[in-house]
Amino acid sequence: MTLWQGVVLGLVQGLTEFLPISSSGHLVLVEALTGVHFTDVTVEVSLHVATLGSVLVMFGGRLWAIARGVLRRDPGSLRYALLLVVATIPAGLIGTLLHHQIEQQFHSLIWLAAQFLVTGLILWWTRGPRGDRALPSLSAATGGAVPWAVSCVVAFASGVWSIRFLMALLRQGRLYAFAPYCWAVGLFTLVYALWLV
């Protein structure tokens, strides 16, 4: 991995991790376009850890308050913690039951294109009255160590920006704004995949 590839991967991970446009899908696409291929998941995991740092910077105080509330058996904190646990169950079940199928299709550009297009449709269906939305309050190995480190720093910094951007869109009820982007990326990926055949 060269320095510029590290910067690109860090930007892609940070900018897409918290937006409803699939960071993993973008990483697969960028790997295909730039020729970066990892023999293990070390780089991808470290990029996710870097963006986890963005979450801790933006919401660390809120998460710590919830943890303290759970220890004190505060009803609001217990409910919030329960919702966080419940929200992880669908992804956990799908990952466990369909692990092999997902792994086999993960780097297929045709499959990736279809996922972008479907994501766009789902986002488009979010149009309509905003209603009440509960938003978290904002209190405020492989190719060289240097490119890898730069990639993580860029992922962290762009992740912070991405979270702020997403929160602004959520307040406006405009998740559907990402639908045309997903369709465009999906069509581009499909054309690129067919061109490679």
Cβ neighbours of residue 49 closer than 8 Å, sequence gap 6 or more? 152
Side chain identity, residue 44: E
Q: So what's the pLDDT on residue 152?
A: 87
Residue with tokens 């960071």: 23
| pLDDT reported for residue 37 | 72
Write down the pTM of the prediction: 0.72
Percent of the chain with pLDDT over 70: 86
Tokens coding 155 = 């992922």
Look at the block and give the residue holding tokens 């789902």: 122
What are the tens digits of pLDDT across the range 63-112?
Answer: 899 999 999 999 999 998 898 889 888 878 887 887 677 666 667 888 88
- The whole-angstrom separation of Cα 56 and Cα 91 is 21
33: which 2 tokens? Answer: 């376009």
Parts of the chain with a pLDDT under 70: 38-40, 99, 102-106, 128-140, 142-144
Our CA dihedral for 15, 58, 93, 44, rounded to 10 degrees, sits at: 40
Residue 38 φ/ψ region, left for φ over 0, alpha for ψ in the -120 to 50 degree band, beta for the rest: beta
pLDDT for the residue numbered 164 = 92
Which residue ranges make up each domain of the chain?
A: 3-196
Q: What is the pLDDT of residue 40?
A: 62
